[in-house]
Chain A
Amino acid sequence: MIISGPVVWKRTLPDSAATVPAREAMRRAASYFEDRAETAPAEAAAMLRAQAMIAADPLLLEHIDSLAAGGLPPDRAIAGAAESLGAAANLDVRDVVERAIAFSRGLTPESPPDPGFPHVLVAQSLSAADMLDVDRTTVVGILTVEGGPTSHAAILARSFAIPSIFGYPESRLLQDGQLVHIEVAPAATQATATVSRRVPLLANISSAADAALAATVADGVGLLRTEFFHPDLNYAPLLEAFHGKPVTIRVLDLSDREGDRDGDPLGVRGLRYLRAHPDLLDAQLAAIARLGRPVSVMAPMVSTVDDARWFASRARSHGLTDAGVMIEVPSAALCADEILAVVDFASIGTNDLVQFTLAASREHAALASYQDASHPAVLRLIEMVIAAGNRCGKPVSVCGEAAADPAFAATLIGLGVSSLSLTPAAISLVRKAILWHPR
Protein backbone atom coordinates (compact mmCIF):
# COMPACT_ATOMS: atom_id res chain seq x y z
CA MET A 1 0.00 0.00 0.00
CA ILE A 2 1.56 3.28 -1.04
CA ILE A 3 -0.01 6.52 0.03
CA SER A 4 0.92 9.94 1.19
CA GLY A 5 0.79 10.86 4.83
CA PRO A 6 0.89 14.04 6.85
CA VAL A 7 3.71 15.08 9.16
CA VAL A 8 3.68 13.67 12.65
CA TRP A 9 0.53 14.96 14.25
CA LYS A 10 0.61 15.97 17.87
CA ARG A 11 -2.39 17.48 19.57
CA THR A 12 -1.65 21.13 20.06
CA LEU A 13 -2.95 22.90 23.15
CA PRO A 14 -3.21 26.61 22.40
CA ASP A 15 -1.71 28.48 25.31
CA SER A 16 -4.75 30.52 26.27
CA ALA A 17 -5.56 31.40 29.87
CA ALA A 18 -7.22 28.64 31.89
CA THR A 19 -10.37 30.31 33.10
CA VAL A 20 -12.54 27.25 33.75
CA PRO A 21 -12.03 25.88 37.29
CA ALA A 22 -10.07 22.62 37.40
CA ARG A 23 -12.92 20.63 38.97
CA GLU A 24 -15.31 21.79 36.24
CA ALA A 25 -12.75 20.94 33.52
CA MET A 26 -12.37 17.44 34.98
CA ARG A 27 -16.16 17.04 35.14
CA ARG A 28 -16.38 18.02 31.46
CA ALA A 29 -13.65 15.54 30.61
CA ALA A 30 -15.47 12.77 32.49
CA SER A 31 -18.74 13.49 30.70
CA TYR A 32 -16.92 13.79 27.37
CA PHE A 33 -15.68 10.19 27.77
CA GLU A 34 -19.04 8.97 29.13
CA ASP A 35 -20.85 10.53 26.16
CA ARG A 36 -18.46 9.01 23.65
CA ALA A 37 -18.81 5.61 25.33
CA GLU A 38 -22.59 5.76 24.79
CA THR A 39 -22.28 5.69 21.01
CA ALA A 40 -18.96 3.85 20.65
CA PRO A 41 -18.62 0.26 19.43
CA ALA A 42 -18.51 -2.22 22.31
CA GLU A 43 -14.75 -2.77 22.19
CA ALA A 44 -14.15 0.97 22.53
CA ALA A 45 -16.85 1.72 25.11
CA ALA A 46 -15.09 -0.11 27.96
CA MET A 47 -11.88 1.81 27.27
CA LEU A 48 -13.69 5.15 27.17
CA ARG A 49 -15.51 4.36 30.43
CA ALA A 50 -12.13 3.57 32.00
CA GLN A 51 -10.98 7.02 30.92
CA ALA A 52 -14.13 8.61 32.35
CA MET A 53 -13.18 6.89 35.59
CA ILE A 54 -9.69 8.42 35.38
CA ALA A 55 -11.25 11.87 35.03
CA ALA A 56 -13.40 11.21 38.09
CA ASP A 57 -10.63 9.60 40.19
CA PRO A 58 -11.21 10.80 43.79
CA LEU A 59 -7.51 10.88 44.66
CA LEU A 60 -6.62 12.75 41.46
CA LEU A 61 -9.32 15.31 42.23
CA GLU A 62 -8.00 15.71 45.80
CA HIS A 63 -4.53 16.42 44.45
CA ILE A 64 -5.95 18.89 41.92
CA ASP A 65 -7.86 20.67 44.70
CA SER A 66 -4.80 21.02 46.89
CA LEU A 67 -2.62 22.29 44.02
CA ALA A 68 -5.36 24.76 43.00
CA ALA A 69 -5.72 25.88 46.62
CA GLY A 70 -1.97 26.51 46.62
CA GLY A 71 -2.49 29.04 43.84
CA LEU A 72 -1.78 27.02 40.64
CA PRO A 73 -3.98 27.87 37.65
CA PRO A 74 -6.44 25.08 36.70
CA ASP A 75 -4.43 23.67 33.74
CA ARG A 76 -1.23 23.41 35.76
CA ALA A 77 -3.07 21.94 38.74
CA ILE A 78 -4.47 19.19 36.50
CA ALA A 79 -1.11 18.38 34.91
CA GLY A 80 0.65 18.59 38.28
CA ALA A 81 -1.79 16.21 39.99
CA ALA A 82 -1.29 13.49 37.37
CA GLU A 83 2.44 14.03 37.74
CA SER A 84 2.36 13.77 41.53
CA LEU A 85 0.49 10.45 41.29
CA GLY A 86 3.26 9.18 39.00
CA ALA A 87 0.87 8.55 36.10
CA ALA A 88 1.82 11.35 33.70
CA ALA A 89 3.50 8.88 31.30
CA ASN A 90 0.45 6.62 31.03
CA LEU A 91 -1.08 7.32 27.59
CA ASP A 92 -4.67 6.89 28.78
CA VAL A 93 -4.12 9.24 31.70
CA ARG A 94 -2.30 11.70 29.44
CA ASP A 95 -5.21 11.72 26.99
CA VAL A 96 -7.60 12.58 29.86
CA VAL A 97 -5.23 15.24 31.18
CA GLU A 98 -4.77 16.86 27.75
CA ARG A 99 -8.51 17.00 27.15
CA ALA A 100 -9.18 18.36 30.66
CA ILE A 101 -6.52 21.05 30.13
CA ALA A 102 -8.20 22.00 26.84
CA PHE A 103 -11.54 22.23 28.65
CA SER A 104 -9.95 24.36 31.38
CA ARG A 105 -8.84 26.78 28.67
CA GLY A 106 -12.34 26.84 27.22
CA LEU A 107 -11.22 24.90 24.12
CA THR A 108 -12.50 21.81 22.34
CA PRO A 109 -9.76 19.17 22.10
CA GLU A 110 -8.42 18.90 18.58
CA SER A 111 -9.12 15.73 16.52
CA PRO A 112 -6.57 14.07 14.22
CA PRO A 113 -6.31 15.98 10.92
CA ASP A 114 -8.27 14.84 7.88
CA PRO A 115 -6.80 15.95 4.55
CA GLY A 116 -9.85 14.47 2.80
CA PHE A 117 -8.06 11.84 0.73
CA PRO A 118 -6.72 8.35 1.50
CA HIS A 119 -3.65 8.79 3.67
CA VAL A 120 -1.47 7.29 6.36
CA LEU A 121 -2.07 9.01 9.68
CA VAL A 122 1.26 9.60 11.41
CA ALA A 123 0.89 10.76 15.01
CA GLN A 124 2.96 11.24 18.13
CA SER A 125 0.42 9.08 19.95
CA LEU A 126 -3.24 8.20 19.53
CA SER A 127 -5.84 7.45 22.17
CA ALA A 128 -8.98 5.33 21.96
CA ALA A 129 -11.06 8.51 21.56
CA ASP A 130 -8.79 9.72 18.76
CA MET A 131 -9.38 6.42 16.95
CA LEU A 132 -13.13 7.05 17.01
CA ASP A 133 -12.51 10.45 15.41
CA VAL A 134 -10.52 8.88 12.60
CA ASP A 135 -12.36 8.72 9.29
CA ARG A 136 -12.12 5.04 8.43
CA THR A 137 -12.79 5.72 4.75
CA THR A 138 -9.72 7.93 4.31
CA VAL A 139 -7.23 6.65 6.88
CA VAL A 140 -5.67 3.63 5.20
CA GLY A 141 -2.77 3.21 7.62
CA ILE A 142 -1.55 4.47 10.99
CA LEU A 143 1.90 5.01 12.44
CA THR A 144 2.58 6.37 15.91
CA VAL A 145 5.82 7.38 17.59
CA GLU A 146 4.63 6.35 21.06
CA GLY A 147 2.37 3.56 22.24
CA GLY A 148 2.46 -0.13 21.56
CA PRO A 149 0.59 -2.95 19.87
CA THR A 150 -1.53 -3.56 22.95
CA SER A 151 -2.57 0.06 23.48
CA HIS A 152 -6.29 0.74 23.28
CA ALA A 153 -5.93 2.68 20.07
CA ALA A 154 -3.96 -0.19 18.52
CA ILE A 155 -6.66 -2.66 19.48
CA LEU A 156 -9.28 -0.42 17.89
CA ALA A 157 -7.18 0.03 14.76
CA ARG A 158 -7.05 -3.76 14.43
CA SER A 159 -10.79 -4.07 14.92
CA PHE A 160 -11.25 -1.42 12.21
CA ALA A 161 -8.85 -3.43 9.99
CA ILE A 162 -6.57 -0.41 9.52
CA PRO A 163 -2.97 -1.54 8.97
CA SER A 164 -0.97 0.14 11.70
CA ILE A 165 2.23 0.23 13.70
CA PHE A 166 1.86 1.70 17.17
CA GLY A 167 5.13 2.68 18.81
CA TYR A 168 7.37 3.11 15.77
CA PRO A 169 9.80 5.90 16.79
CA GLU A 170 11.26 6.18 13.27
CA SER A 171 7.93 7.53 12.05
CA ARG A 172 8.94 10.94 13.41
CA LEU A 173 11.44 11.11 10.56
CA LEU A 174 8.69 10.98 7.91
CA GLN A 175 7.92 14.09 5.91
CA ASP A 176 4.47 15.34 5.00
CA GLY A 177 3.45 13.84 1.68
CA GLN A 178 6.17 11.20 1.76
CA LEU A 179 5.20 7.82 0.35
CA VAL A 180 4.72 5.23 3.06
CA HIS A 181 4.59 1.50 2.52
CA ILE A 182 3.08 -0.45 5.40
CA GLU A 183 3.58 -4.16 5.00
CA VAL A 184 0.92 -6.10 6.84
CA ALA A 185 2.69 -8.93 8.63
CA PRO A 186 0.87 -12.13 9.44
CA ALA A 187 -0.79 -11.80 12.81
CA ALA A 188 -0.16 -15.28 14.17
CA THR A 189 3.60 -15.06 14.64
CA GLN A 190 3.78 -17.56 17.46
CA ALA A 191 0.92 -19.78 16.33
CA THR A 192 2.01 -23.20 15.30
CA ALA A 193 0.07 -25.72 13.33
CA THR A 194 0.85 -29.36 12.77
CA VAL A 195 0.27 -30.77 9.33
CA SER A 196 0.91 -34.27 8.09
CA ARG A 197 2.05 -33.42 4.60
CA ARG A 198 5.08 -31.48 3.50
CA VAL A 199 4.24 -29.06 0.72
CA PRO A 200 6.75 -26.85 -1.08
CA LEU A 201 6.78 -23.20 0.02
CA LEU A 202 7.37 -21.21 -3.14
CA ALA A 203 7.90 -17.50 -3.60
CA ASN A 204 5.83 -14.77 -5.24
CA ILE A 205 8.34 -12.58 -7.03
CA SER A 206 7.93 -9.09 -8.44
CA SER A 207 11.49 -7.78 -8.38
CA ALA A 208 15.16 -8.73 -8.38
CA ALA A 209 15.20 -8.02 -4.64
CA ASP A 210 12.36 -10.53 -4.15
CA ALA A 211 14.30 -13.08 -6.17
CA ALA A 212 17.45 -12.59 -4.10
CA LEU A 213 15.53 -13.07 -0.86
CA ALA A 214 13.55 -16.02 -2.23
CA ALA A 215 16.73 -17.77 -3.39
CA THR A 216 17.74 -18.32 0.24
CA VAL A 217 14.39 -19.35 1.69
CA ALA A 218 12.02 -20.66 -1.00
CA ASP A 219 11.65 -24.09 -2.56
CA GLY A 220 11.10 -22.42 -5.94
CA VAL A 221 9.06 -19.71 -7.60
CA GLY A 222 5.30 -20.17 -7.56
CA LEU A 223 4.43 -16.85 -9.14
CA LEU A 224 6.75 -14.65 -11.18
CA ARG A 225 4.79 -11.47 -11.91
CA THR A 226 6.17 -10.50 -15.30
CA GLU A 227 4.41 -7.16 -15.71
CA PHE A 228 6.99 -5.61 -13.38
CA PHE A 229 9.68 -6.50 -15.92
CA HIS A 230 7.66 -5.53 -18.98
CA PRO A 231 8.57 -4.87 -21.74
CA ASP A 232 11.93 -6.51 -20.99
CA LEU A 233 11.32 -10.20 -21.70
CA ASN A 234 14.64 -11.44 -20.31
CA TYR A 235 13.82 -13.49 -17.21
CA ALA A 236 17.03 -15.53 -17.20
CA PRO A 237 19.07 -13.45 -14.71
CA LEU A 238 16.21 -13.50 -12.26
CA LEU A 239 15.84 -17.26 -12.43
CA GLU A 240 19.54 -18.16 -12.19
CA ALA A 241 19.26 -18.74 -8.47
CA PHE A 242 16.48 -21.29 -8.98
CA HIS A 243 18.37 -23.85 -11.00
CA GLY A 244 16.78 -27.27 -10.52
CA LYS A 245 13.82 -25.80 -8.66
CA PRO A 246 10.26 -25.39 -9.91
CA VAL A 247 9.44 -22.04 -11.49
CA THR A 248 6.03 -20.81 -12.59
CA ILE A 249 5.87 -17.71 -14.73
CA ARG A 250 2.61 -15.83 -14.96
CA VAL A 251 2.14 -14.16 -18.30
CA LEU A 252 1.38 -10.46 -18.42
CA ASP A 253 -1.48 -9.24 -16.25
CA LEU A 254 -2.12 -5.94 -18.00
CA SER A 255 -5.30 -4.01 -18.55
CA ASP A 256 -6.51 -2.04 -21.53
CA ARG A 257 -5.78 1.27 -19.86
CA GLU A 258 -2.44 1.88 -21.51
CA GLY A 259 -0.94 -1.16 -19.85
CA ASP A 260 -1.94 0.15 -16.44
CA ARG A 261 -1.88 -2.68 -13.93
CA ASP A 262 -4.33 -0.87 -11.70
CA GLY A 263 -7.16 -0.63 -14.17
CA ASP A 264 -10.71 -1.82 -13.64
CA PRO A 265 -10.47 -5.21 -11.92
CA LEU A 266 -13.57 -6.35 -13.84
CA GLY A 267 -12.38 -4.93 -17.14
CA VAL A 268 -10.23 -6.04 -20.03
CA ARG A 269 -7.24 -7.31 -18.08
CA GLY A 270 -5.20 -10.46 -17.63
CA LEU A 271 -5.93 -13.10 -20.22
CA ARG A 272 -8.72 -10.94 -21.67
CA TYR A 273 -6.16 -8.31 -22.59
CA LEU A 274 -3.83 -10.91 -24.06
CA ARG A 275 -6.63 -12.42 -26.17
CA ALA A 276 -7.05 -8.93 -27.62
CA HIS A 277 -3.26 -8.65 -28.11
CA PRO A 278 -2.13 -12.20 -29.07
CA ASP A 279 1.18 -10.88 -30.48
CA LEU A 280 2.17 -9.68 -27.03
CA LEU A 281 1.47 -13.10 -25.53
CA ASP A 282 3.32 -14.89 -28.35
CA ALA A 283 6.40 -12.70 -27.88
CA GLN A 284 6.38 -13.43 -24.16
CA LEU A 285 5.83 -17.17 -24.55
CA ALA A 286 8.63 -17.31 -27.14
CA ALA A 287 10.97 -15.54 -24.70
CA ILE A 288 10.00 -17.98 -21.94
CA ALA A 289 10.58 -20.95 -24.25
CA ARG A 290 14.07 -19.59 -25.07
CA LEU A 291 15.00 -19.84 -21.35
CA GLY A 292 15.72 -23.48 -22.14
CA ARG A 293 14.86 -24.65 -18.66
CA PRO A 294 11.87 -26.49 -17.26
CA VAL A 295 9.27 -23.88 -16.50
CA SER A 296 5.53 -23.69 -16.00
CA VAL A 297 3.46 -20.88 -17.44
CA MET A 298 0.09 -19.70 -16.27
CA ALA A 299 -2.50 -17.15 -17.29
CA PRO A 300 -4.15 -14.60 -15.00
CA MET A 301 -7.82 -13.65 -14.89
CA VAL A 302 -9.22 -16.76 -16.55
CA SER A 303 -12.99 -16.97 -16.31
CA THR A 304 -14.10 -19.63 -18.78
CA VAL A 305 -13.09 -23.04 -20.13
CA ASP A 306 -12.57 -21.38 -23.49
CA ASP A 307 -10.08 -18.92 -21.94
CA ALA A 308 -8.18 -21.83 -20.43
CA ARG A 309 -8.17 -23.89 -23.62
CA TRP A 310 -7.02 -20.91 -25.71
CA PHE A 311 -4.11 -20.16 -23.38
CA ALA A 312 -3.00 -23.79 -23.13
CA SER A 313 -2.91 -24.16 -26.91
CA ARG A 314 -0.86 -20.94 -27.30
CA ALA A 315 1.62 -22.13 -24.67
CA ARG A 316 1.94 -25.60 -26.22
CA SER A 317 2.49 -24.10 -29.66
CA HIS A 318 5.71 -22.64 -28.17
CA GLY A 319 6.76 -26.01 -26.80
CA LEU A 320 5.78 -25.08 -23.25
CA THR A 321 4.30 -28.31 -21.95
CA ASP A 322 3.20 -27.26 -18.48
CA ALA A 323 0.46 -24.69 -18.95
CA GLY A 324 -1.91 -23.73 -16.19
CA VAL A 325 -4.33 -21.04 -15.16
CA MET A 326 -4.93 -18.90 -12.14
CA ILE A 327 -8.23 -19.48 -10.44
CA GLU A 328 -9.20 -16.07 -9.12
CA VAL A 329 -12.66 -15.64 -10.60
CA PRO A 330 -15.56 -17.52 -8.96
CA SER A 331 -16.73 -18.80 -12.37
CA ALA A 332 -13.37 -20.51 -12.87
CA ALA A 333 -13.52 -22.05 -9.40
CA LEU A 334 -17.04 -23.34 -10.02
CA CYS A 335 -15.97 -24.85 -13.38
CA ALA A 336 -12.65 -26.19 -12.04
CA ASP A 337 -13.30 -29.74 -13.28
CA GLU A 338 -13.84 -28.58 -16.85
CA ILE A 339 -10.95 -26.11 -16.74
CA LEU A 340 -8.49 -28.60 -15.26
CA ALA A 341 -9.46 -31.01 -18.06
CA VAL A 342 -7.83 -28.67 -20.61
CA VAL A 343 -4.80 -27.38 -18.64
CA ASP A 344 -1.98 -28.98 -16.63
CA PHE A 345 -2.40 -27.25 -13.28
CA ALA A 346 -4.24 -24.49 -11.46
CA SER A 347 -3.06 -21.86 -8.99
CA ILE A 348 -5.63 -20.15 -6.80
CA GLY A 349 -5.09 -16.40 -6.47
CA THR A 350 -6.79 -15.63 -3.20
CA ASN A 351 -6.53 -11.83 -3.38
CA ASP A 352 -8.78 -11.49 -6.42
CA LEU A 353 -10.87 -14.53 -5.54
CA VAL A 354 -11.81 -12.82 -2.26
CA GLN A 355 -12.64 -9.48 -3.83
CA PHE A 356 -14.75 -11.06 -6.58
CA THR A 357 -16.51 -13.56 -4.32
CA LEU A 358 -17.43 -10.97 -1.69
CA ALA A 359 -17.94 -8.23 -4.30
CA ALA A 360 -15.64 -5.97 -2.26
CA SER A 361 -12.97 -3.92 -4.01
CA ARG A 362 -9.45 -4.37 -2.67
CA GLU A 363 -8.82 -0.69 -3.32
CA HIS A 364 -11.60 0.47 -1.02
CA ALA A 365 -10.35 1.07 2.52
CA ALA A 366 -13.87 0.96 3.94
CA LEU A 367 -14.24 -2.61 2.68
CA ALA A 368 -11.00 -3.88 4.22
CA SER A 369 -12.88 -6.14 6.63
CA TYR A 370 -14.28 -8.05 3.63
CA GLN A 371 -10.80 -8.99 2.43
CA ASP A 372 -10.94 -12.28 4.30
CA ALA A 373 -9.64 -15.37 2.56
CA SER A 374 -11.00 -17.52 5.38
CA HIS A 375 -14.57 -16.49 4.62
CA PRO A 376 -16.62 -19.70 4.24
CA ALA A 377 -17.60 -18.78 0.67
CA VAL A 378 -13.94 -18.45 -0.33
CA LEU A 379 -12.92 -21.59 1.54
CA ARG A 380 -15.66 -23.57 -0.21
CA LEU A 381 -14.44 -22.40 -3.61
CA ILE A 382 -10.86 -23.28 -2.70
CA GLU A 383 -12.01 -26.69 -1.50
CA MET A 384 -13.89 -27.27 -4.78
CA VAL A 385 -10.85 -26.47 -6.89
CA ILE A 386 -8.56 -28.71 -4.82
CA ALA A 387 -11.11 -31.55 -5.03
CA ALA A 388 -11.29 -31.10 -8.80
CA GLY A 389 -7.49 -31.31 -8.96
CA ASN A 390 -7.53 -34.51 -6.92
CA ARG A 391 -10.15 -36.06 -9.23
CA CYS A 392 -8.03 -35.56 -12.33
CA GLY A 393 -4.63 -35.87 -10.67
CA LYS A 394 -3.45 -32.34 -11.49
CA PRO A 395 -1.74 -30.04 -9.01
CA VAL A 396 -3.58 -27.13 -7.41
CA SER A 397 -1.55 -24.51 -5.58
CA VAL A 398 -2.42 -21.27 -3.81
CA CYS A 399 -0.48 -18.11 -4.56
CA GLY A 400 -2.35 -15.32 -2.78
CA GLU A 401 -1.05 -13.27 0.12
CA ALA A 402 -3.37 -15.21 2.43
CA ALA A 403 -0.84 -18.06 2.36
CA ALA A 404 1.54 -15.80 4.30
CA ASP A 405 -0.62 -16.25 7.41
CA PRO A 406 0.69 -19.43 9.08
CA ALA A 407 -2.72 -20.42 10.38
CA PHE A 408 -4.30 -20.01 6.97
CA ALA A 409 -1.38 -21.77 5.30
CA ALA A 410 -2.00 -24.74 7.59
CA THR A 411 -5.68 -24.69 6.62
CA LEU A 412 -4.76 -24.77 2.94
CA ILE A 413 -2.38 -27.67 3.49
CA GLY A 414 -5.14 -29.46 5.35
CA LEU A 415 -7.45 -28.91 2.40
CA GLY A 416 -4.86 -30.61 0.20
CA VAL A 417 -3.01 -27.95 -1.84
CA SER A 418 0.08 -29.17 -3.73
CA SER A 419 2.15 -26.10 -2.93
CA LEU A 420 1.90 -22.62 -1.46
CA SER A 421 3.39 -19.52 -3.00
CA LEU A 422 3.81 -16.45 -0.85
CA THR A 423 5.81 -13.29 -0.41
CA PRO A 424 9.43 -14.31 0.27
CA ALA A 425 9.50 -12.17 3.41
CA ALA A 426 6.96 -14.51 5.03
CA ILE A 427 8.36 -17.87 3.97
CA SER A 428 10.66 -18.42 6.97
CA LEU A 429 7.88 -17.47 9.33
CA VAL A 430 5.41 -19.90 7.77
CA ARG A 431 8.04 -22.62 7.63
CA LYS A 432 8.77 -22.16 11.34
CA ALA A 433 5.13 -21.95 12.32
CA ILE A 434 4.11 -25.14 10.57
CA LEU A 435 5.29 -28.35 12.13
CA TRP A 436 5.49 -31.09 9.53
CA HIS A 437 4.38 -34.18 11.31
CA PRO A 438 3.92 -37.31 9.22
CA ARG A 439 1.10 -39.43 10.48
Chain B
Amino acid sequence: MAISKAGLHARPASVFVKAVQNWAPGALIGRPGGDAVQARSIVSVLALDIQPGESVVLTGPDADSLDKLAALLETEEDK
Protein backbone atom coordinates (compact mmCIF):
# COMPACT_ATOMS: atom_id res chain seq x y z
CA MET B 1 0.00 0.00 0.00
CA ALA B 2 1.32 3.41 -0.91
CA ILE B 3 -0.04 6.92 -1.03
CA SER B 4 0.35 8.59 -4.38
CA LYS B 5 1.56 12.09 -3.57
CA ALA B 6 1.07 13.61 -7.01
CA GLY B 7 -1.77 11.44 -8.26
CA LEU B 8 -1.34 9.43 -11.44
CA HIS B 9 -2.13 11.74 -14.31
CA ALA B 10 0.00 11.58 -17.42
CA ARG B 11 3.27 13.13 -16.34
CA PRO B 12 3.75 11.43 -12.95
CA ALA B 13 2.23 8.25 -14.40
CA SER B 14 4.88 8.24 -17.12
CA VAL B 15 7.65 8.39 -14.50
CA PHE B 16 6.02 5.61 -12.48
CA VAL B 17 5.34 3.35 -15.48
CA LYS B 18 8.89 3.75 -16.74
CA ALA B 19 10.15 2.62 -13.32
CA VAL B 20 7.75 -0.34 -13.43
CA GLN B 21 9.04 -1.36 -16.85
CA ASN B 22 12.62 -1.27 -15.50
CA TRP B 23 12.16 -2.79 -12.06
CA ALA B 24 9.01 -4.90 -11.97
CA PRO B 25 7.36 -5.38 -15.38
CA GLY B 26 4.89 -7.87 -13.90
CA ALA B 27 3.60 -5.57 -11.13
CA LEU B 28 -0.08 -4.80 -10.76
CA ILE B 29 -1.62 -1.61 -9.39
CA GLY B 30 -5.11 -0.86 -8.12
CA ARG B 31 -7.20 0.79 -5.45
CA PRO B 32 -7.54 -0.98 -2.09
CA GLY B 33 -10.28 -3.55 -2.64
CA GLY B 34 -10.55 -2.64 -6.33
CA ASP B 35 -9.48 -4.34 -9.55
CA ALA B 36 -5.76 -4.38 -10.28
CA VAL B 37 -4.34 -3.47 -13.68
CA GLN B 38 -0.95 -3.98 -15.29
CA ALA B 39 1.34 -1.24 -14.00
CA ARG B 40 3.58 -1.40 -17.10
CA SER B 41 0.67 -0.01 -19.17
CA ILE B 42 0.40 3.76 -18.82
CA VAL B 43 -3.05 3.72 -20.44
CA SER B 44 -4.28 1.24 -17.82
CA VAL B 45 -2.73 3.31 -15.02
CA LEU B 46 -4.35 6.49 -16.37
CA ALA B 47 -7.70 4.69 -16.54
CA LEU B 48 -7.53 4.28 -12.74
CA ASP B 49 -7.60 8.10 -12.45
CA ILE B 50 -5.69 8.11 -9.13
CA GLN B 51 -5.93 11.52 -7.46
CA PRO B 52 -3.22 13.19 -5.35
CA GLY B 53 -3.14 11.70 -1.86
CA GLU B 54 -5.04 8.52 -2.82
CA SER B 55 -3.92 5.10 -1.59
CA VAL B 56 -2.95 2.45 -4.10
CA VAL B 57 -2.03 -1.22 -3.74
CA LEU B 58 0.97 -2.61 -5.58
CA THR B 59 1.34 -6.35 -6.04
CA GLY B 60 4.05 -8.41 -7.68
CA PRO B 61 6.61 -11.15 -7.13
CA ASP B 62 9.55 -9.02 -5.94
CA ALA B 63 9.03 -7.19 -2.64
CA ASP B 64 12.17 -5.06 -3.01
CA SER B 65 11.14 -3.57 -6.32
CA LEU B 66 7.61 -2.99 -5.03
CA ASP B 67 9.10 -1.05 -2.10
CA LYS B 68 11.08 1.07 -4.54
CA LEU B 69 7.95 1.76 -6.59
CA ALA B 70 5.99 2.63 -3.45
CA ALA B 71 8.73 5.03 -2.37
CA LEU B 72 8.59 6.65 -5.80
CA LEU B 73 4.82 7.15 -5.55
CA GLU B 74 5.13 8.56 -2.05
CA THR B 75 7.81 11.10 -2.92
CA GLU B 76 7.33 12.09 -6.54
CA GLU B 77 6.13 15.66 -6.75
CA ASP B 78 3.91 17.08 -9.41
CA LYS B 79 5.83 19.61 -11.41
Contact of B46 among A49, A87, A150, A152 (CB under 8 A): A87
A58 adjacent to chain B (CB < 8 Å): yes
A92 touches B44 (CB 8 A): no
Mostly, the A contact residues are helix
B47 adjacent to chain A (CB < 8 Å): yes
A92 touches B41 (CB 8 A): no
CA A54 to CA B79, docked complex, whole Å = 19
Known: A46-B79, A53-B18. A152 touches B43 (CB 8 A): no
B49 adjacent to chain A (CB < 8 Å): yes
Known: A46-B79, A90-B49. A85 touches B10 (CB 8 A): no
A85 cross-chain contacts in B, Cβ below 8 A: 41, 43-44, 47
Mostly, the B contact residues are helix
Contact of A87 among B14, B38, B40, B47 (CB under 8 A): B47
CA A54 to CA B44, docked complex, whole Å = 10
B41 cross-chain contacts in A, Cβ below 8 A: 57-60, 85
B31 adjacent to chain A (CB < 8 Å): no
CA A47 to CA B78, docked complex, whole Å = 11
B11 touches A54 (CB 8 A): no
Nearest Cβ in chain B — how far from A325, in angstroms?
Answer: 45
Contact code string B1-39 (vs A, CB < 8 Å = 1, else 0): 000000001110110011000000000000000000010
* Residue on B nearest A56 in the bound complex, by CB: B42
CA A386 to CA B44, docked complex, whole Å = 58
A49 cross-chain contacts in B, Cβ below 8 A: 14
B14 touches A53 (CB 8 A): yes
B18 cross-chain contacts in A, Cβ below 8 A: 53
Known: A46-B79, A85-B47, A87-B47. A53 touches B42 (CB 8 A): yes
Contact code string B39-65 (vs A, CB < 8 Å = 1, else 0): 011111011010000000000000000
Contact of B43 among A43, A46, A87, A150 (CB under 8 A): A87
Known: A47-B10, A50-B13. A90 touches B38 (CB 8 A): no
* Residue on B nearest A92 in the bound complex, by CB: B10
CA A152 to CA B13, docked complex, whole Å = 13
Nearest Cβ in chain A — how far from B51, in angstroms?
Answer: 10
A residues with a Cβ closer than 8 A to B are 43, 46-47, 49-51, 53-54, 57-60, 82, 85-87, 90, 92-93, 150, 152
15 A–B contacts, CB within 8 A, in A order: A50-B11, A51-B10, A54-B43, A57-B44, A58-B41, A59-B38, A59-B44, A60-B41, A85-B43, A86-B44, A86-B47, A90-B10, A90-B46, A92-B10, A150-B9
7 further contact pairs, Cβ within 8 A, besides A46-B79, A87-B46: A50-B14, A50-B42, A54-B43, A82-B43, A85-B43, A92-B46, A150-B9
